[in-house]
Structure 1
Amino acid sequence: MTGARDAYQDGVVGDSYPAGAGWVVAARGELDQDTLGPLEQALVAAADRHPVVVLDAGAITFGDSSFLNLLLRLHQLTVLRIAAPGEQLRRLFALTGADTVLSLYGSVEDAAGA
């Protein structure tokens, strides 16, 4: 995925890089049905190539039901680990029960090393 950062640097996808046995995809900003496309492409591509995908969620300020749906679908394709989710995402995951399905970690390092 050389150049993945260049392709997405102005959007919701930040850096993507190898970590441990997996691949980290950083996301940022507000994620809803109108902005989710580039992140979905990056995560699905990572899932196709790597046994573990870590979503660095530390810079995500908002996620709606379409974002949650993407995470649950990706969870079926690969080992998905969500790193550093903020308060809004933790609340979304708790209210929907997704926190009992998805693997949440306090940092990218914890998620990559798990």
Structure 2
Amino acid sequence: MPQPSRDPALHVRQYACNESWVVAVEGELDAQTLPPLQRALEAAAKNWPVVVFDASAVPFADSSTLNLLLQTHRATRLRIAGAQPQLLRVLEITGADAALALYPTVTDACAAIAS
């Protein structure tokens, strides 16, 4: 039985919040859909000392996403906001949750940066 096709498009929004840059995405993250997020995070890391990744609308993320987040973390101060259970599980299993700053919301991540 053929698998239903899914929309590989990833919707990326970006905006300033306090003294940081927020990169918000909507959609599933895997090797096929990751390039727009990768471009956004790389540009943000070059231009902002703190980057907030809003993962609140990401129902699925694979190991390629984890790799990108760790690369971004090495390039700037990365905050992850609103991670959904599946992404949180990937971070916990790999131990990345101990290295990355996790916040329940973008507001919390931005407030932590401002204080």
Gaps of at least 5 residues in structure 1 are 1-9
Residue of structure 2 aligned with 1:38, choices 12, 36, 39: 36
Residue of structure 1 aligned with 2:53, choices 52, 55, 64: 55
- Report the TM-score, using the length of structure 1 for normalisation: 0.88
RMSD in angstroms over aligned alpha carbons?
A: 1.2
Distance 1:13 1:79 in 2: 23
Residue of structure 2 aligned with 1:93, choices 91, 94, 101: 91
- Report the TM-score, using the length of structure 2 for normalisation: 0.88
- Measured against aligned partners, the alpha-carbon deviations of 1:41-78 in whole angstroms (never above 9, x if no partner) come to 00110111111000000000110000000000100000
Structure whose alpha-carbon radius of gyration is higher: 2
Gaps of at least 5 residues in structure 2 are 1-7
Identical positions, percent? 51
Residue-pair matches, total:
105
Aligned residues of 2:52 and 2:79 also touching (Cα < 8 A): yes
Q: Which has the higher strand share?
A: 1
User: Runs in 1 of length 4+ with deviation above 2 angstroms?
Assistant: none
In structure 2, the partner of 1:111 is 109
